[in-house]
Chains A and B, each alone.
Chain A
């Protein structure tokens, strides 16, 4: 399959592994931002293939993982209401709130539906005028434009029984928060290719020059990731710090202007809580005042919630690269994909879940 097979080619991968080995002279810690990259790294055993001198730190770029537990509780409260059809991307349904999850809610009779596009949820609203249709608008910059588009279309067409529960997060503020942390170990980043498909990588140029750290926009297949690592290591070894683009078959410096246009039409930047990390300034999106009629939190009055995370979970430390999943005392025992304790075990793209799935029995 074009654009996949050549990026899963073991011969090309071996050449890159050799090139990385030749380049590396000392220990480096590199963070891959995106959960999709973490998943590929563990699935294809990339961390086992490359030099021991490279410490891959698994970043916070899994939207399912970092959605705060109180937001899940809000989703559950809304979805429990009798006249609500609650729509979501599939992998959010399994994420546990304080007491239950959306899949279990569906099992006891709530109308919870998987949609593949947020615009489909608007369609469901039009087909069910006597119901309230709510879409769980989760994700990074990648899903923000289609989610914004759904609100935009509903507004244009006057579909008033549609609303969104917004929990959008943004990558650059998270990178800055990691770099500002006194515990930071990260010396270079592999930026998330699909986020940059929308946003471009212009905004990373300011970060590389301020923090003097290399950022390489990287794809998701094994060859992409190895090439990203090679580019990042080359910068580190040569003392450079630039925003480079490995994923040039998809990403441009300027990004997708049309996608950004609808995104900024509907959303504005706000403070956002990240599960496992906490509040990060200017790290999320909320609906603009003009679209407040589509805000499910206001519509259903589920504004103030505060929930304590499990004390045994160390996902915050894992998301900053200070600990690995295997360092956690409850990893693979009390905490597993069926009973996740925290952020990094809840989605297959979370670091703990990926370790459990592909490495657990080897331990």
Chain B
């Protein structure tokens, strides 16, 4: 199976690690979100995600292209999250009751204000959600097929009974509207 990321992976394996930043930026939100499901803590989720990206980088030579890169990275992240839970449980066994109270306080603090130097993803997601809902149906459908259902251009073209060129241009227009909103919300201050 040819993966979208295969070119970047090849360049990293041939000695240029800078390409890995592209991989991180592409998947960071989804991987942190996955880790959060296990850690239930914003700070720990980022730490586990960081560990997952590092482990994936070290094992990049073992990636066999028999699945999508994201699926492989997903598996690594699940393993890292499970390791985190195991180590946390071992730690809990050793801790006193007062330490446990301390842990609860830390978790509560993450649910209040946006931490320093972080994006409030819920805010951005809300804006994107509204924009997506207000898109014309033909554009919304293209986004759904491509970015949510992960269909190829050929599959979309045959399903929507449209030429590939039209599929591409509609998708481009729809993405442009949504990406502009993300750009204004993630611009460096």
Co-assembled chains A and B = no
Please list the residues of chain B having a beta carbon within 8 angstroms of any beta carbon in chain A.
none
